[in-house]
Each structure stands twice: as C-alpha cells, then as structure tokens.
Structure 1
Amino acid sequence: MDLDIVALSRMQFALTALYHFLFVPLTIGLSVLIAIMETVYVMTGRTVWRDMTKFWGVLFGINFAMGVATGIVMEFQFGMNWSYYSHYVGDVFGAPLAIEGLMAFFMEATFVGLFFFGWDKLSKVKHLFVTWCVAIATNFSALWILIANAWMQNPVGAQFNPQTMRMEVTDFFAVLTNPVAQAKFVHTASAGYVVAAVFVLGVSAWYVLKGRHLQLARRSMTVAASFGLAASLSVVVLGDESGYLSTEHQKMKLAAIEAMWKTEPAPAAFTAFGFPDQEARETHFAVHIPWVMGLIGTRSLTTEVSGIDELVHRAELNIRIGISAYDALQKIREARSTDAVPESARTIFEANGHALGYALLLKRYVDDPRKATADQIAQAAIDTVPPVWPLYWSFRLMVGLGMFFIVLTASFFVLSARRRLDAHPWLLKVAVLAIPLPWIAAECGWFVAEFGRQPWVIEGVLPTAVAVSSLGAQTVLPTIAAFVAIYTVLMVIELRLMLKAIRKGPQAHEVPPGDLRPDETRSADPGLAFTGRWANRSLQ
C-alpha cells in the first residue's frame, strides 16, 4: 500500500482504534462481573463478596479511565482526517454518536463516580442499583457505537440526496433496528465478557499459585468460569449469525475470509486450512469440510455462496451502472433549480442511483468516472476484493482462540463444581498465560470486520479513497507518531497501575468464619500451604 493520504489516514485510525479496543472489552465485561459479585454480597451478606466487588472494581476503574482517554481522540479524527466522510454521511452517522455521548456516556460516568465514592453513603441495595447502572450504561454505550458502525457495514434507513450531495436519514428506526447492528452488539458484548472472564480467571489463578487471597481467588474463579463458559459459547453462536448476515450484506467479505475464488455448488464447503494465493486466485493445500460453509452462510443446503470471481464480475456491472448514475447526477447538479432538472436525468438517477458508489471507485484512477477506460473499470472492479491472506488467517486465529476459551472455562467450571480448583497447578499456569489471548481474538475480530469491508468506508456507498480530508502526508505523519507515542505511554501507565493493584491485592482484613466454605474452615490447610510453597519456588 502506497503511503499516500488515504493509506496514512487509514493507518492512523487503525492504530488509535486498536489501542482503544484494548480497553473497551475488559470494561464491558468487568462491569457485569462486578455487578454479579455485588449481587451475591447483598443476597448473602458475606463480606468476602464485597471485597471482591471492590477489588475488581479498582481494576475496572483504571481500565475505564484509559478507555475514555483513548476514545475521545477517535471521534475528532472524523473531522480531521475524514472530513468528506463526515460531510457525506454525518446526518446518519452523527446521530448514534451524539446519543451515545449524551445518554450512555454521561450516565456511565455519573454512576462510576457513585460506585467508587458511595460505599459508605448508600445502602447496600442502593449501591447495588448503582453498580448495575454502571454495567447497563457501559453496554448501552457500546450499543450506540455499534449501531453507527453497523450502518457502515449495512447502510439502511438512509437515502442519497442529489441536491445536498449527502446521505440523509429516511427511517431512523431502521437504523436502530439494523440486523447487522443487533448481531454486532451481542457478539462484541459477548467477546468483552470472555475477555473479562479470562482476565479474572487468570489473575485469580495467579493468587492460588502464590497461596494468597485464596477465599477471594476461588470465588472469583467460580464466577469467571461460569460466566466465561456461557459467554464463550454465545460468541460462537452469535458469530454464526454474523456469518449469515455477511452472506446477505457483505458477500465479498465472506468470500475473502473463506478464500473462495469460485462459486461452489450448494451446499458450499468450509476451508478449514490452506494457503491463499491472491495472484494465482487459488488456495494451495486446501482442506475442505463439506457442507459447513453452506450451512453457516445460507442456513440451507440448496443456496450457493458466491465466489470472488463472480462478485468481481458483478462489481464491474455495477460500476457501469454507476457511471450512468454519475452522469445523471452531474446533469442534476448543473441545473439551477429542481424545476429545471431534466426529467430523463431524474429518471435515470432514480433507477441507477443505488450504484453511484461503484462509479466513485473510479475516482482513484480518473477525475471524471465517465471518462474511464475499459481497463480502469476492470481494475476498479478488482479493487473490490480486499487482501485475502490477512483476512483468511485472522479469522481462523480468532475462531481457534474461541474454541480454546470454551475448553479453558469449561475445565475450570468442572473443577469449581468439584471444589478442586487448585488440583492441577499446570492448569492454573495455563490460565495465567492465557490472559492476553482474548485481546488477540478481539483485535482479530475487529480487523476482520473493518479490513474486510475495504475498499468501502460505507459498504457500496462511499469508497475509502474519496472519504479522506484534503491533507498532505507531512501533516498526517507527525500526528501518527504523536498518537503512537502518547497511547504507548498511556498503555504503559495502565499496565503499571493494573499490576500494582494486582500485586497489592484486596484490602486485608479478617474474614468472618461464616463467610468460609466448608473446604476453607481450616486456617492452615496443608494442601493450600503446599500449593503456595510450590508456586513461590516455581515462579522465582
């Protein structure tokens, strides 16, 4: 990719989004986990659950603050680097972002303050209400962001106005109920729950290995294992729904993820493994699983899944249709008033306006799409194919990690039911080492969703290449360097704060005997003492 203004603007937004998304999933998941823990505290009155809520709440607060700091910059980039995008779709895209800021974020910030400073000022039930409001607002904030993002994947409820040269809302309810938004929200939220569950599981496993804070660690592991297993299973189910919707709304993305070059007879096979070769347009050493792709992508055995070559041919046809729409649009713009618009131009645009975005793909090669050559049209059609290799492997890494999380959380769920969480020190070590893996899976999921949409910033409506601001590379490069430096410093600060809080652990105080489980009634359990001594030796 040449380092032109488009590439640099994409790189800047990708870097800031990747940094920001390091904090978002943990915030989403921890908010619900601490609400569950405090609910148990209010129901049982056992102080160990209050201590769990406070301890994990501190880690939530650190992560929440960093998420806010990194998220604010992203919204400014729409005006700085993507000004034409903001002008073109601001009427649609701006509404969910504004609602998120006015409703969800303000609500979230208010109740986060009450959560931390209201322990001694609110009753148990009132403070529990505050904690659940934090969890609801955190997830509510993600909902509005994903409604905006889903509209970029599947632009519904809006129509292009040739007089204003902008997309305008025609049905805001359709924007809110976008099926892609629904699937993306529940899938992303579930992924956040997995991130938090594995994080809590890993930190608690470390405590057990060290022989510290065992009452808190065991209960935290029990909650995390149960919550994480349910979330991991739901991610798989909801991911299947996302695949089905991609077949309807983003066929090229699905074909690229599967490296499916040719349209296969129904039901299509799933390529479990292989080495995609985009130049040769084939997948070497491919291992296929019959029928699976047809079932995932179409929910039937009779519907075929379109291949890349066929979709490129359709794109070329859409480009030619879009050229006629572009020509009609220019005639409409040349008219001084609506009454002066030629009826033929209006009719042609109404019939072909849906393909206008495809004509704009030619802007990369020629200023006036009507003057494009046959070779340029063919090349623009090929440009609708995103890079296959990174999408193919990112998707498979994400799926493989998802399967691992199911096995990991299920193992600890069984051990928790048997009261044998410390029975296998090697498994506790695996849980500690697995802490960063959910973030890798989440980033892979974001990459597949956003990179797979290229070359569109709005699917089928606005190409990325024409959505950027009129800036020079010398303007964007320093900001990329500055953002990377600042965000790296923030991430280092967060890691230091998190590690310091984890090493310190919860506030130490005597646990009432009634709060202990039957297997914790002896203060000096030989097995736990042995586990602690073994952990200290092995980690030194």
Structure 2
Amino acid sequence: MNALILARWQFGITTVYHFLFVPLTIGLAFLTAGLQTAWVRTGNEHYLRSTKFFGKLFLINFALGVATGIVQEFQFGMAWSEYSRFVGDVFGAPLAIEGLLAFFLESTFLGLWIFGWDRLPKRLHLACIWLVGIGTMLSAYFILAANAWMQHPVGFVLDPATRSARLTSIWAVLTNSTAVVAFAHTIAGAFLAAGALLITVSAWHLRRGRNTDTLRPTLRLGLWTVLAACLATAVTGDIDGKIMTAQQPMKMAAAEAQYHTSQPASFSLFTIGSLDGDSEVWSVRVPGVLSFLATGSFHGKVEGIDDVQAAEVAKYGPGTYIPVVPVTYWSFRLMIGFGMLAGAVAAAGLWFTRRGRTPGPERRWFWRSALWSLALAPLAASFGWIFTEMGRQPWSVFGVLATRDSVSPTVGAATVATSLIVLTALYGVLAVVEVGLMLRAAKHGPEQPGSEGAAAEGEPQLGFAY
C-alpha cells in the first residue's frame, strides 16, 4: 500500500469512529433538555431522575466525542497537507465560527449546567441545557457546511498565483443547498441515535422490573423519537438524493451499480454478482424506484456509469471517475436498511406499550430487539458517511481537487502506516473507556430518593457522581 491508500484508510477510520459520538451528543442534548423541561413544568421527580440519569450518559459521550474530534484536526495537517493548503481559505471561516461561537457556546453552558444544580434558578439552569443543545446543532451546521463544500464547491475562485481556492462569498458556502439538506438529514439521524439509546437503556431496566416509574416514560419517549426520526431521515434523505443526482450523477449511478442509462430505472433490493455491469447473477428489483429517488418521477431518466464517465472525461480530462461500486452499492442499502429496521422496532414497541401496557416475558423477541436497536442508528449513520465520502471519489473536492493530489507529498507510506496504527490503537483504548463508562452508568440506573448518590433537599449538588 502506498501513502495515499494508507492516508485514506486513516481518514476513514478516524472519521467514522468520531461520527459515532456526534449524533448521540446532539440528540441526547435535546432529549435531556426535554426531560428537564418536563420536570420544571410538572415538578414530577421522575423527570428529574431521568434528566440526571441520561444527562450523565450525555456527558460521557460528549467528553469522548471531543477527544476523538481533536485527532481529525491533526490528521489534515499530517497526511493531507496539500488538501489543507488548497481549502484553507474556504474552510477557515466556517470552522473558525464553529470553534469560536458554537463550541464555546455549548462548552460554557454545559459547565454551567453541570455545576449549576441548586445554584442557579430552575428556569435559568434549564436554559443552560437548551443552549448546549443549540450549540451542538450550530457546531454540526458549520462543520457540515465545510463538508458540503467538498461535495458541491461554491463561493470561491481558483487563485492562479497560489493554486488554491480563495473564498469569495461566505454566505454562498453557508447557504449551500447541499449543506442545508445534509444538516436536516444529520439532525434527524441524531435523534434516531439518541432515541435508540433511550430505548435500549430503559428496556434493559424495565425487563428486570427496575425503575418502572422513571424509565417507562423514557422508553415511550425513545420509541416516539426513533419513529419520528426514521420518517424524517427518509424525507430528508429523499431530498438529498435528488440534489446529489443533480450535482454528482456518478454517485447515484454507482449507488445502483447502473452502468447503462435507463428510463425508467428500477431499484435493486438485493443483487448477487460482481456489480461490474456484466455478471449479475440474480437480483430483486422494484420498478421505477430509482427513477423516483433520483428525479421525483417513477418514469424519470437516470444516467448510467458509462455515460457519466464519458461526460466527465470530456469535462475534466482523461482518467477514471468511477468510485468503488461495491462499496457505494452496499453502503447505500445498509444505510437505508438499518434505518428502516430501527423504525420498525420503534413502531412495534409503541404498539406493545400502548395504554400503559408493558410486554410480558412471552415477548422476549421485543426485549432483545429493543436492546439491539442501539446498534442500528450508528450503523445506519456510519454506512451513510461511507457512501457519501466514497461515492465522491476520485475527488476530495468534487470537480476541483483530486484525492491523489491532496495527500502530503513529503510523508511516506511508513510514516502514515505508523500514525494509522497508533491512532487505531488509541481509538481502541478510547472505545474500551467509552463502553465501560457507559455500561457502568447505564446499569446503575437513575438515583432513587434517599439513596447515597442523591443529595438531600437543599444540599448543593455538583452535578453527577461516578
């Protein structure tokens, strides 16, 4: 393997790992704020206990997310210096806004929320966690605006003197149509992840008859959140697909492994074959669905890989502009499949817990699916990012900068391999820490009135004890 391939592996591993924390942090911030709002409005102590319980899980995830995010910044300078030099003027603005405004907003008010229990007035303390949630959402938007520029570069000109991109309109970058729809899709996925966590943790305790009064409402909240988020991801994903087809027709063609232009175009649920256009053995297809995903019409025209390749050769010059088709094909389906499965679990859970009911021992499959639902949202999000980034290849900035021209020219394969091994090992350690802390906090459950972990009435609380 050369330095380019190793650098791509490093970027993929660190990015997917970091993104496991991001949606959960965003979604949990708002669900925790919602639970605290319910406590402030009703005075029901069950909401207070659930707020502190899931707030503790939120804090663990937030801390690990920050730690893994720092690595992202360093690897751009280490392995992708040519890319950093090229996009620096454009990326500087949204990332600076994210760091100076959004991150400081969420971190400042998170500190006030942690140490403000019984020190701040209830409503002021409640406002802190809502501002944390708003800060996480703003952070996501500015980072997605930077990523969207890689998918659909706007608001810049190429500087012939420096051979780099020079920002001409920050407004165009921040209002990029790709950024707007990606943000909506990401936020929906964030609530999907957070809702799944509520389902899993609540179901684990309820299956054992623990903390019923506190965690049954959070189970229902998680189920409704996942179902609504699943519908939202489907709608926003559909819009995203149409914008993607207009901006990157190769990506949609590769998502279906469609080599020849079709009108209408069918969507294959499952295919056996090499996905090279000539050796399809067996496929289950739904007529017209790919046309609808790409154009909004079941009779729309969808360009094939061969035609898009010819058009891009004419536009950009000789070369191969086809991504790794098996990766794009299967990641697209796994993204959709895991998301739909999470929605199905939520719908079943709402039915079995309707009107105050709790599934009995005979519904073992439900309890097991509730526990395993925690993995569905991260898997859907991870495959979604893999599809988004791999489908853009061979471009790091679509149509402007090739990935092969983005890697650091003075960094050899041995150096990248060393950093890849070190970072992967470091992330492995962080994974053990994350899982251990989350499991310990989740199994402990909410603090009960009069327990050792709960402060007496009127006694100052420093937030959360581990």
Alignment of 1:301-316 (within 5 A): 301=298, 303-316=300-313
Partner Cα separation in structure 2 for residue 21 and residue 458 of structure 1:
20
User: Over residues 216-274 of structure 1, what are the superposed CA-to-partner deviations in whole Å (9 max), with x where a residue is unaligned?
Assistant: 11011111111221111101111111110111111111100111110002x32222221
Q: Does 1:484 align with 2:424?
A: yes
- Name the aligned partner's letter for residue 86 of structure 1: S
Alignment of 1:9-48 (within 5 A): 9-48=7-46
* TM superposition shift of 1:425: 4.0
Partner Cα separation in structure 2 for residue 466 and residue 420 of structure 1:
60
User: Over residues 131-162 of structure 1, what are the superposed CA-to-partner deviations in whole Å (9 max), with x where a residue is unaligned?
Assistant: 11111111111111111001100101112121
User: Over residues 440-486 of structure 1, what are the superposed CA-to-partner deviations in whole Å (9 max), with x where a residue is unaligned?
Assistant: 11111110011111110001110000111121112111111111111
Contact 1:261/1:282, CA 8 A, preserved across alignment: no
* TM superposition shift of 1:281: 4.3
Which segment is superposed worse, 305-314 or 93-102?
93-102
Match of 1:412 among 346, 349, 367: 349
Alignment of 1:76-155 (within 5 A): 76-155=74-153
Q: CA RMSD in A?
A: 1.5
Number of positions where the alignment pairs a residue of Structure 1 with one of Structure 2: 448
* TM superposition shift of 1:280: 5.0
Structure exhibiting the larger radius of gyration computed from Cα positions = 1
User: Over residues 195-219 of structure 1, what are the superposed CA-to-partner deviations in whole Å (9 max), with x where a residue is unaligned?
Assistant: 1111110110010111111111101
Partner Cα separation in structure 2 for residue 461 and residue 32 of structure 1:
38
Aligned to 2:414, what secondary structure does the other structure show? helix
Q: Does 1:291 align with 2:281?
A: no
Gaps of 5+ in 2: 452-466
Partner of 1:4: 2
Contact 1:82/1:467, CA 8 A, preserved across alignment: yes
Partner of 1:459: 398
Alignment of 1:223-372 (within 5 A): 223-265=221-263, 267-279=264-276, 281=278, 283-301=280-298, 303-320=300-317
Partner Cα separation in structure 2 for residue 115 and residue 437 of structure 1:
30
Match of 1:169 among 167, 172, 184: 167
Partner Cα separation in structure 1 for residue 275 and residue 110 of structure 2:
49
Partner of 1:156: 154
Aligned to 2:374, what secondary structure does the other structure show? coil
- Name the aligned partner's letter for residue 486 of structure 1: L
* TM superposition shift of 1:413: 2.3
Partner Cα separation in structure 2 for residue 135 and residue 276 of structure 1:
45
Contact 2:341/2:376, CA 8 A, preserved across alignment: no
Partner of 1:334: none
* TM superposition shift of 1:277: 2.6
- Name the aligned partner's letter for residue 58 of structure 1: K
- Name the aligned partner's letter for residue 403 of structure 1: M
Output the TM-score relative to the length of structure 2.
0.93
Contact 1:206/1:429, CA 8 A, preserved across alignment: no
- Name the aligned partner's letter for residue 43 of structure 2: G
Contact 2:259/2:277, CA 8 A, preserved across alignment: no
User: Over residues 108-143 of structure 1, what are the superposed CA-to-partner deviations in whole Å (9 max), with x where a residue is unaligned?
Assistant: 111111111111111111111011111111111111
Which segment is superposed worse, 253-262 or 161-170?
161-170
Gaps of 5+ in 1: 321-376, 512-540
Partner of 2:333: 396
* TM superposition shift of 1:416: 3.7
Q: Does 1:472 align with 2:415?
A: no
Match of 1:497 among 429, 437, 442: 437
Partner Cα separation in structure 1 for residue 298 and residue 430 of structure 2:
50
Aligned to 1:385, what secondary structure does the other structure show? coil
Contact 1:114/1:130, CA 8 A, preserved across alignment: yes
Contact 2:242/2:293, CA 8 A, preserved across alignment: yes
User: Over residues 367-407 of structure 1, what are the superposed CA-to-partner deviations in whole Å (9 max), with x where a residue is unaligned?
Assistant: xxxxxxxxxx3xx1xx2111111211111112111111111
* TM superposition shift of 1:417: 3.4
* TM superposition shift of 1:287: 2.6
Partner Cα separation in structure 1 for residue 273 and residue 111 of structure 2:
51
- Name the aligned partner's letter for residue 428 of structure 2: T
